[in-house]
Amino acid sequence: MEIKDLKPNKSVDVLEVEVVEVGEAKEFTSFKGAGRLANVKAKDKSGEVRITLWNDQIEQVSKGSKIKIENGWVKEYRGELQVSTGKFGKLTVG
């Protein structure tokens, strides 16, 4: 799967990208609990997309990292697509 194939509210089987920018980690609290999140911008040959990292994932990723998201999810936020591992997905850095 490539970035150009992503659609809102659809699953991501496997997406392999390179991180080009890492945002600052932010703390949050919700009815589900507390945690941290950070947004990164990633690219492949077909385009760029924002990826949301959660808690321990944040320290695993830096600019230039090659990451693979398996069983992830795509949402649209403020007109922009965002990819996340969601509850059941997996992030691999390598």
pTM of the model: 0.91
Query: Which CATH number do you get for residue 50?
Result: 2.40.50.140
The torsion angles phi and psi of 5, rounded to 5 degrees, stand at: -90, -5
Please tell me the total count of domains within the chain. 1
What is the C-alpha to C-alpha distance for residues 48 and 51, in angstroms, rounded to an integer? Answer: 10
* Segment 34-51 mean pLDDT: 97
For 51-67, the pLDDT digits (tens) are 999 999 999 999 999 99
Mean pLDDT of the residues in the chain: 96
Task: Give the rounded percent of residues in the chain with a pLDDT score beyond 90.
Answer: 96
Give the residue numbers spanning the domain of 73. Answer: 3-93
Has residue 34 got a pLDDT over 90?
A: yes
17, 94 Cβ separation under 8 angstroms:
no
